[in-house]
Every structure is written in C-alpha cells, then in structure tokens.
Structure 1
Amino acid sequence: MIDLATALAQRPVVLDGGLGTLLEARGNDVTSALWSARVLRDEPDEVRAAHAEFAAAGAEVVITASYQLGYGGAIPDAEVEALLRRSVSVAREAADVVVAASVGPVGALRADGSEYTGAYGLTLDELREAHRRRLHVVAESGADVLAVETIPSLLEVEALALELDGLGVPAFVSVSADSTGFAPGGSRAEALRVAASVSSVLAVGVNCCAPGSVLSALGEAPGIPLLAYPNTGERWDAATRTWHGGAAALADDAPSWVAAGARLVGGCCRSTPADVAAIAAAVG
C-alpha cells in the first residue's frame, strides 16, 4: 500500500469509480434511499468484491460504502456506528490499497437531491452538529484517510472544516462542482480555499459533476494537490431516481486534469472498473 501523502507529492494517484454503479452491475438492488449502504448492511461480501474489482483495475485508493451512512438518516442511529466501521473493514479486506472513509453531505442522508443544492435550511452550528458524531467514528475506524465528498455549499464546507480542524486525521475534501449551492460568484473558490486551510487536508477538488466542469473548478483551487473524480456525464433525476443522457470517456480528459494539478484522479457515479483501468493507463 502506498503512503498517500508521499505519493501525492510525486505523481498522480488513481481513485476508484462508482461503487453503487458496480454493485448494481453485479446484480444488487441500490434503488432505495440507502444506495450502496443497503448492500453494506445486508450483503457485505458484495461490497468487498466490488472494492477488489476496482483495485484489480488499477485503483490505488478505494472509497468506502459509507456515503449515505450517518446519524439521523434512514438507518437507525443504533446501527450506524457498526456499519461505519464495517465499511472500512470490508474495504481493508478487499485489497492492499489506501482506504478512504466516505463522509457525504447532509443531503446524502436525506436522499432528496439536496446534495446538489445545499438547501437544507440549517445554520453553521447545526451543520457542524450534523457531521460531528460521524466524523469522530470514522476518524477512529482505522481508515487511512477521510473522503469528505460531494459537498454542495460553502456553508457546509465551512462547517466540515471547523470539525476536521484538530481531528488529527488526514482527509481530502471534494465539492459538488455543479451544485446550485455555489451559484453566488466566488463561493466555490472560497469553499476550496477554506477546505485547503485545514492542516490535515491533503487535497481538495471536485467530484459528482459533469466532466466538462472539472477544469474550471480546478482553476479556482489553491496551490495544494488537487483531485478530480466526476460522473461520466449522465444526469441524475432525484425524483425518479434514474439516470439520463450519454456517457463520456473519463480517461480522455484525465491527462488535462493532471496538467491542471490533479493528483487524485478517478470516477464517480456511473464509472466502472473499465473506466478506472483506462484512467490508470492515461495518467500512469
């Protein structure tokens, strides 16, 4: 297994792809509000096997199936801690790779599309409280790094930065680049700056966005290692829980992301082990 901080200073590092996408392709039901967390709870061997597929395709970092897991969500609070820890252990058992514990936004727990708007109606202090307990559990779970991902607004980034500061665990922070929560001019750039100001944050960047949004967002980022793992270009309809549109070949654009400073490169929703293998070949 690589030392992530050292590797980021030297070369691009390949992330995995869409875990829920692969689980679905393997025949698992991910249509509920729990998404991949349902499979983690009921069929953890499937999650382990999916992580192993991504690692075999060239992923050096796998992101756990904990994106939809949090307190106050669809899974009873009494079960959340054990499942958060399970998400790390099954990833660890899958392959000798860096394990990144996924920490999704409040919108991921609501499963109503608000992870692309940040329109929660919560204050800064309420957002800090919403994330605090889960962050402390995953910080003690044995993960190598925290993957704070798909954050849709400056306010939620600010809340997470305050909670990460002093937690003492390395993290990378990724914003939802196309979120309407960044509509105020300069707010996305400010969110990336705020995230990068936390001493334990190794990289900042974007995920769960259109591939065409990556370069403009990276151009707003501060001078630390950057990351990029967009969707394949298809559009998610939260009301019908379906995808629409055509898919792009992420590997075609990956070298330009690396040239712009990205050091963690992979795919998000709809990306497959084949996409990861192509990205690894394109940036290796």
Structure 2
Amino acid sequence: MVNETSNAPAAAFHSMKDFLKQTGGFAVIDGGLATEFERHGADLNDPLWSAKCLVTSPHLIHTVHLDYLEAGADIIASASYQATIQGFEAKGFSREKGESMLRKSVEIACEARNTYLAKCKETMDDDDDKILKKRPILVAASVGSYGAYLADGSEYSGIYGDSITLETLKDFHRRRVQVLAESGADIIAFETIPNKLEAQAFAELLDEGDVKIPGWFSFNSKDGVNVVSGDSIKECIAIAETCDKVVAVGINCTPPRFIEGLVLEIKKVTSKPILVYPNSGESYDADRKEWVENTGVGDEDFVSYVDKWMDAGVSLLGGCCRTTPTTIRAIHKRLVHRRSSSPRH
C-alpha cells in the first residue's frame, strides 16, 4: 500500500503500473491550481505565479489540495510548478529560503493528504458530494520548464534561443529537482515540457543517481501534432522511453480536442502508462498574462472526451489550467463507471 500516515514517500511505490493495479486500472490527477487560488482571492500577477502562495497564503494551497482530494483525485501535485531557487532569489529571498519554499510545497501537499485520510476514517460515505474514500494517494512534486521560470510565455513556445544548451538546463534544474525529490513526494511531475532539449535534460538528471524517486514526463502541444516547439512528439516520448526512472508519459496544458490524436502517436513509441491532463481549451495571452475568456469548453464537454481518451490508451486523467474540482469530480465519476465495467486485472 502507498504510505498513508506520514510525509515520507510511499515506500512501496515502485512503478506507476503497480499503483494503477491498486486503483483499478485508472487514476485521477488533480486539476488547475493557479486558477483555483485566484478563485479564492489570491493575486498571482507575479513572476512566481502560483508559487507566490507559498509565501503569502500556504493555508490556501492546503485548502485547494483538499478540494481536489474530496473531488476524487488520486494524485495531487505540489504548488511548485513555477517555484525555482533562481526565481525566489530574484524576489530577494536567500538560496536557503528558496530551498525551504520548495520543501514546503511538498509538505503542504502531504499534510493535505493526511487531512483527507483522517476525514476518511471519520466516515466512509460521500458527504455533501465530497468523495471520502480511503485509497492510495500519490503526492507529485511539480517541476515546470525553464520557460515557466522566465515568466514570458516561452513554455508555450519552447523557443529558448541558441545560448540555452543541454548543460544550461541541467544546471538550472539540478538542485531544485534534488530538493523536491528529498521533500517527501512519491513522484516528480515534469510538466509542460516544450521541447526535446529539456526532456533530455530531465532524463539525464534522473539518471545521475541523486534523485531517488521516479518521475513522469508531460509535454504540451498547440497543434495536436508536435510539441509546442515543433519537435516531434514521438521523438520526445522516445527520450522518456530510454529512462527507467520515467514511469509514465503524456500530455498536459493542451486543448482537449488535440489529446486523442497525440495519445495515439505516443502509444506507438512507449510501453509506459499514458497520462493526460489538458487545459480547458482556452487561449492564454502571454503579453497580458491572462486567459482569454470564452475560448474553451465547459466541464460537460471536457468530460465527454474522457471515454475516447481511455479507449486510446490513457490510464491517468486530470486537468490543467482553468479546470476545477468540479471537472475532477466529473472525471472521477466517469472512471468509477469505467472501473466497474472493466474486467479485473
């Protein structure tokens, strides 16, 4: 069983395939964090973006994690997507304080898991549409791309310029990844990877030996064919396939309409479990740093894709930007139906 009583990593978590056996073949990933923080009143107009809440309102992070668990999420991601040592230093924090903030992001997620499991002991029934069911829950330490640190929208282009090399990226991410890996998470979520170069950097960091927990690789696309930089999705997945510590691969922060086609391509080059957590389909204006209203799909339309994604080979599903606990609850309900109608493994 996954460790349910402490902030230590799940000692028995060796592979995503083992975890999926415990969850009935499918698992639910949480949804968007930043937009939920904003819904609760946080002002994230800051280079730290969602990581600003680690400084100003950690209680809010705990609340949102708990909302997602009560909506049925089996995996919650720490509020560290845009949290980097360099980013904290740029805001005037010491290196030690920056590393402390990284640890704190994972600790808050672990505490939310503990809070949720304590609630499950009090009642095993759904309460006011809250899903209170004791089950294996993973805490994923979120690692955003170098482009996310730049806070200029380049994680949506993958264009970093010729001066950014493989070694530059490894040096940028190395200490951050080490700190997060030692903070009590079960897995590292390398998210919104925009190009092959950064995927290679992450794979080599995992292979260096200092990182003792596994990771997943999740890429983003804006055309449904390639990752956002124009690199081939199959070539990007092939990099992950060569790294034993990568235990799942997939797509995030991509419009729902593109997911099925991308998954079918991914399936051609990997034997690893496939995950998807699309955004709501809305467009992001990098200059104005805001989402363009009324360009996406509602929860009902979003969830209408779920069966197609699972038929295509997806086993881990959630949401990214602009998705909510309501979205995740709807996905959970679809997966409950799917589990109950699937033959036991």
With the shorter chain as reference, the TM-score category is over 0.9
* Residues 1:139 and 2:181 aligned together: yes
By how many angstroms is 1:180 displaced?
A: 6.1
Question: Structure 2 CA distance, aligned partners of 1:102 and 1:169?
Answer: 13
The structure having more radius of gyration, on CA atoms, is 2
Please name the residue that 2:160 is paired with.
120
Please name the residue that 1:173 is paired with.
217
Question: Which one-letter code corresponds to 2:256 in the other structure?
Answer: P
Question: Structure 2 CA distance, aligned partners of 1:237 and 1:91?
Answer: 29
Please name the residue that 1:53 is paired with.
67
Alignment deviations for residues 215-272 of structure 1 (CA, whole Å, 9 cap, x no partner): 1221222121000000001011111011112334321111211111211100000000
Structure 1 residues without counterparts, runs of 5 or longer: none
Question: Which one-letter code corresponds to 1:236 in the other structure?
Answer: Y
Maintained 8 Å contact 1:233/1:248: no
Question: Which one-letter code corresponds to 2:275 in the other structure?
Answer: L
By how many angstroms is 1:61 displaced?
A: 0.5
Matches within 5 A, 1:85-234: 85-95=103-113, 96=117, 97-121=137-161, 122-165=164-207, 166=209, 167-178=211-222, 181-184=228-231, 187-221=232-266, 222-234=270-282
Task: Find the residue that maps to 1:72 and give its secondary structure.
Answer: helix
By how many angstroms is 1:181 displaced?
A: 4.2
By how many angstroms is 1:79 displaced?
A: 2.2
Cα RMSD between the aligned structures?
Answer: 1.6
The percentage of counterpart residues that share the same residue type is: 41
Question: Which one-letter code corresponds to 1:109 in the other structure?
Answer: Y
Maintained 8 Å contact 2:219/2:227: no
Question: Structure 1 CA distance, aligned partners of 2:49 and 2:285?
Answer: 14
Structure 2 residues without counterparts, runs of 5 or longer: 3-12, 118-136, 337-345
Alignment deviations for residues 34-91 of structure 1 (CA, whole Å, 9 cap, x no partner): 1111112111011001100000000011000000111322444342210110001111
Question: Which one-letter code corresponds to 1:130 in the other structure?
Answer: F
Maintained 8 Å contact 2:159/2:229: no
Length, aligned pairs only: 282
Higher mean C-alpha deviation, range 66-75 or range 129-138: 66-75
* Residues 1:39 and 2:53 aligned together: yes
Alignment deviations for residues 5-24 of structure 1 (CA, whole Å, 9 cap, x no partner): 42325511000000111111
Maintained 8 Å contact 1:153/1:181: yes
